[in-house]
Structure 1
């Protein structure tokens, strides 16, 4: 056990003696300044401190330090580790200060947009508690639960803000607590008892190919501004829809070195830090985008591929400006309120058209849109062939811009719910008689309902009487759609 004592060492030129706390541990001494001084009258002949005022101030500190050391095992510590613990282990640490440093680290690591969410979460907590210096000790389970309840009317923040601050708290536990040595500067974890609510599930943002065609054909609103936001919004929507739903942050940050042989080579900013393959993808630029590639090209002295940064200071402001321009076009078309489109409308539309109108599976859509597919480790070991994504992207571009075919959504409305699928989609189907499963299939390669039913009818045994009905259930696994059919033995088969 370390011993602590008030001592003086050398007299200063002004005649005063600085007072220290001498810490001795495992035979090694160290001296902690106290900021207090005494004169000769405050010392005994053996230089023991007798100044009652100084003693009254410093002895409680000695008691506090001793109690702190009693709560940990310092047997194997060095004297310097003991001193460091006494200097910091008894202080109430600022959660606000640590959270801001955590967000700054995220910015340094390239996670600018995520860092912004962390800062917004902290600011909301600080407003709720009425201070810009929230201490860790103030974050009790009861306090956090009250704060989360204050977010209940929000659609997304009620989940996102608590998740952000919980991550900050977990990082602080690793930074401040030394579990091997029993140093616990943050003594509790209130998040163990907190249940974070789920964010409201957003409505599907996709529009039909007909609506997309109408948007891009709409005249821009009249304005005297050169290169108005409506033009930027339309062009950005075109980039997104024709590059497999690319994010605006990736358009903004794209470098010239990322584009060669007609192909964009980049890592998706949103998820590159959480995937072993760093969310790398290659996307071939379709010919329809060549005019825009030239329109937004930068000069020889600029390493950026597109000139968006010359007008917008950050990727967030670029995305915001594009959204404003898109909404201006919507309003000119008579689309108002929550029905107006945004950049993400065209990302969602790409995925929807790829699956519903171009026959792609969910896995193929996810691959082309650079979503995590559950095989992150594997993708970190191999170099994928991205050409299937290019081909799917060009099918979507062809369907929207170079045909006037109706969307599958409209075809289903007109056909009273026509059930369609492609040979690439996984089918799970079964045939039943009086509730008994007679046989089932789960495979791809079926082009229509009749092919599936024909396969299932082979499972019907001879014991089923003629003119008896069998029931058939067919599920398009990729779409999550189910349809039911009935056939009569001796009539239909």
Structure 2
């Protein structure tokens, strides 16, 4: 049984007494400092403080401690365990320290890339707050709201950073709070009042086959460096474009054991830990890219990695940065505007776009070739997959770009998220081709000019319609502007619309 008593010890040098709560358990005692003091006039003969304010404060603490102790079985505890249990319920927790440990464990568990994103988020929050020792109690909904406002001008970070911090908060609430035992070291969850904004829509950065031919077939800018950065940028961009849009991190981490019989067999670093099949894929090295591929192979027998990128760059991030620097130097030499510069992901996006637009691949086939899960994580986890369809699609992309002069269809079709024209514009000088459909059959059509609006076109088609169409049935009118090649469809109901 544990007993609690408010008491004082010996006086301090100024004659005042610090007030403690004495905790006695298993015939041993420890003391909890209440941070309250009284003078000798406010101490009873039994050593208890009599000051009404101090007495009320200490009585409240004793009630809270007894309530918590009554919720647990302390029979097997010693007095130190009781003390730790009572004190930890009141001590504030340092968010910064907990976040660093959280990130360290994440990296040790093999989630290095995610750990980097979490570290960026925590570092940004600490810079905003102005301290590298941020307490959980400081992160109120008001503070977080101001942080989100500060992030609002970013494209991706405004969603990614607060999402990472919220995940750390969520884990800490489970770890430090225990409702059953009455432990509540993190007093509130501010995220219940905070709305995390969505990141901006990803910009379509793919380029045409014509632009690819121009980029890869121009002389490299001169450099005084022994190892040409533009050459590295061009070659790695070419490797990505001709290996199904492979990422720099996967090139950097690829082992010699991953290359067998002219095929690279690897697990995509970005999603290997989040997919049942560990994001495994096999991609054939096509003859066109073989010379560039062999150019960077490691010849060191003691080197486990397939390529020599480790000898020039300390990690995959610095490698990616070096590649992008090289690509930007080529873009500068081409006279491009800074806002139009390519970067490594330009060529991954380009592979996907040309595969779909110019090589007749559907989105499922594009996703398969780029090693996206496309919603089939479970199935991919137990099916032994034949990757040869991805190889054939990759070969088609290479042939279209580098072994033809065909122009890309890119840009002719609008993005799915792009706003459509609100009005189908007609003027008397425009040639209009119009058709009327009933149950899928063309029942009237015309080609003419002189129309000022859509209703005039429909009014001219109506006399041509069959007379046996029942009242209330809908007829579709499909109008094409032969000058602008824009099209619109309108529906009218017999008896109401015509």
TM-score higher than 0.5 here?
Answer: yes
User: Hey, what does 1:177 align to over in structure 2?
Assistant: 177
Map residues 240-279 of structure 1 onto 2, 5 A cutoff.
240-279=240-279
Q: How far off its partner does 1:483 sit?
A: 6.2
User: Hey, what does 1:4 align to over in structure 2?
Assistant: 4
Q: How far off its partner does 1:88 sit?
A: 2.1
User: Hey, what does 2:168 align to over in structure 1?
Assistant: 168
User: Hey, what does 1:132 align to over in structure 2?
Assistant: 132
User: Hey, what does 2:337 align to over in structure 1?
Assistant: 336
Equivalents in 2 of 1:166, 1:312: separation in Å? 33
Q: CA contact under 8 A between 2:72 and 2:181: conserved in structure 1?
A: no
Equivalents in 2 of 1:93, 1:463: separation in Å? 80
User: Hey, what does 2:483 align to over in structure 1?
Assistant: none
Equivalents in 2 of 1:117, 1:372: separation in Å? 22
User: Hey, what does 2:419 align to over in structure 1?
Assistant: none
Q: CA contact under 8 A between 2:239 and 2:293: conserved in structure 1?
A: no
2:384 is equivalent to residue 387 of structure 1: no
Q: Deviations over 1:69-113 (max 9, x none)?
A: 535762445536644422422110000111111111222123223
Q: Deviations over 1:140-190 (max 9, x none)?
A: 111111111111122221111111101111111222223444433223111
Q: CA contact under 8 A between 1:113 and 1:316: conserved in structure 2?
A: no
User: Hey, what does 1:70 align to over in structure 2?
Assistant: 67
Q: Deviations over 1:245-293 (max 9, x none)?
A: 1111111000111111221111111111211221111111112222122
SS at match of 1:264: strand
Equivalents in 2 of 1:366, 1:436: separation in Å? 38
User: Hey, what does 1:351 align to over in structure 2?
Assistant: 352
User: Hey, what does 1:418 align to over in structure 2?
Assistant: none
Q: CA contact under 8 A between 1:30 and 1:83: conserved in structure 2?
A: no
Equivalents in 1 of 2:488, 2:115: separation in Å? 49
Q: CA contact under 8 A between 2:438 and 2:476: conserved in structure 1?
A: no
Q: 1:20 to 1:145 in 2, by over 3 A?
A: closer
SS at match of 1:409: coil
User: Hey, what does 2:11 align to over in structure 1?
Assistant: none
User: Hey, what does 2:322 align to over in structure 1?
Assistant: 321
Map residues 367-386 of structure 1 onto 2, 5 A cutoff.
367-386=368-387
Q: CA contact under 8 A between 2:258 and 2:264: conserved in structure 1?
A: yes
- Which is worse superposed, 218-227 or 245-254? 218-227
Map residues 79-478 of structure 1 onto 2, 5 A cutoff.
79=77, 82-298=82-298, 299-409=300-410, 438=440, 463=468, 471=477
Gapped regions of structure 2 (runs ≥ 5): 8-19, 34-44, 415-433, 442-464, 480-485, 491-498
Query: Please, what is the CA RMSD of the aligned residues?
Result: 3.7
Computing the radius of gyration over CA atoms, which structure comes out larger, 1 or 2?
Answer: 2
Q: How far off its partner does 1:4 sit?
A: 3.3
Q: CA contact under 8 A between 1:433 and 1:469: conserved in structure 2?
A: no
Equivalents in 2 of 1:20, 1:67: separation in Å? 12
Gapped regions of structure 1 (runs ≥ 5): 8-18, 36-47, 414-431, 440-459, 474-481, 487-493
User: Hey, what does 2:449 align to over in structure 1?
Assistant: none
Equivalents in 2 of 1:167, 1:176: separation in Å? 14
Q: How far off its partner does 1:116 sit?
A: 1.9
Q: Deviations over 1:221-266 (max 9, x none)?
A: 1112122111110111011101111111111000111111221111
SS at match of 1:283: strand
Q: 1:90 to 1:462 in 2, by over 3 A?
A: same
Equivalents in 1 of 2:369, 2:4: separation in Å? 66
User: Hey, what does 1:422 align to over in structure 2?
Assistant: none
Q: CA contact under 8 A between 1:72 and 1:183: conserved in structure 2?
A: no
Q: 1:30 to 1:359 in 2, by over 3 A?
A: farther
Q: CA contact under 8 A between 2:258 and 2:265: conserved in structure 1?
A: yes
Q: How far off its partner does 1:461 sit?
A: 9.8
TM-score, normalised to structure 1's length? 0.74
Instruction: Work out the number of aligned pairs and report it.
Output: 411
Q: How far off its partner does 1:67 sit?
A: 2.2
